[in-house]
Amino acid sequence: MSIMNVNDYLKRIKLPSSRTGDAFEDLKKMQIQHLYHVPFENLDVVNKVPIELDLTRIYKKIVLNQRGGFCYEINGLFHWLLKQLGYEVKMISSTIAKDKNHWYKENTHLTSIVTIENVEYLVEVGAGDTVRTPIPLNGEIVEDISGRYRIDSDGDLLQLQKYVDHEWIPVYRFTTTPKAYSFFEEVCKWNQTSPESHFTQKMITTMANETGRVTLTNQEIITTINGKKTKREYSPNELSELLIDLFGMDIPIIGQSELNSSI
């Protein structure tokens, strides 16, 4: 019998019920609660614990063990939840922007598109600091505490864009072609092992909240409140306590000293 249980998943994101009768509002609430309670983190990569695209193992990690993960885990599991709740949802791949003119390795990000009443929405819970509400593919601008966003066309591709310093810059580009979960197996391994992957270069744990977000890197705590960032350095002996206090995660970081020596 599978350990995966929809009601336990909803409790993990502090939702007693998934249904109000409005599919869009339910989706919007699940997305924001997910972002508020499931951190985006690469601690298994730091600890050299292999991450496999096995939803039962990922469910155990995120729901039962109160952990977070990166896109293949968080967005992959959220896709499963939406399927179980009857949403019309498909996995897609996308390519993350380094800046407005340069891109990371192609098709290395997993996310989802949900269709409600013939309108397609990009729904993102596994990319760190980005849009917090379902965003329609029709170009409509949506705004939340993290900024203003839209979907724009780029030839045969679509782009999730953010408005920064009076211009629209890309967050990532994608097509609406559905992908099987297994499509991401190779890039999931690449992101855990390649020196070109930013996940192997530093520790990152970040989670949204109502006023902004809190982020923990190798050496700094970054707190964002209403768009204003403050930073402070922390000592290595603070790390375990910070992970518990800020993210509810009780986990030793085996590879922390290696990462600290590399930056």
pLDDT tens readout for residues 190-243? 999 999 999 999 999 999 999 999 999 988 999 999 989 999 999 989 999 999
Mean pLDDT (whole number) for 173-195: 97
Q: Which residues pair with 140 in a beta bridge?
A: none
Question: What would the pLDDT profile of 95-152 be if each residue is shown by its tens digit?
Answer: 999 888 899 999 999 999 999 999 999 999 999 999 999 999 999 999 999 999 999 9
Class of domain 190-261: alpha beta
Q: How far apart are CA 190 and CA 155, in angstroms?
A: 28
First-to-last CA distance in the chain?
A: 46
pLDDT of residue 188: 98
pLDDT at residue 263 above 90?
no
For Cα atoms 177, 77, 85, give the angle at the middle one, nearest 5 degrees: 85
Question: Which residue from 199, 196, 200, 239 is spatially nearest to 216, judged by alpha carbons?
Answer: 239
Q: Where are the domains of the chain?
A: 190-261
Q: Where are the beta strands (DSSP E) in 17-108?
A: 40-41, 88-96
Residue 2: pLDDT over 90 = no
pLDDT digits (tens, 9 = 90+) for 30-56: 999 999 999 999 999 999 999 999 999
Alpha carbons 146 and 211: distance in angstroms, whole number: 9
**Looking at residues 9-34, what average pLDDT do you find?**
92
Read off the pTM.
0.94
HEC per residue, 190-230: HHHHCCCCCCCCCCCEEEEECCEEEEECCCEEEEEECCEEE
CA 165 to the chain's CA centroid: 24
Task: State the Cα–Cα distance between residues 148 and 231, nearest whole angstrom.
Answer: 24
Q: What is the 3-state secondary structure (H, E, C) of 144-197?
A: ECCEEEEEEEECCEEEEEEEECCEEEEEEEECCCCCCHHHHHHHHHHHHHCCCC
Residue 257 has pLDDT above 90, yes or no: no
Name residue 143's amino acid.
Answer: E
DSSP assignment of 32-48? HHHHHHS-EE-HHHHTT
pLDDT at 261 > cutoff 50 = no
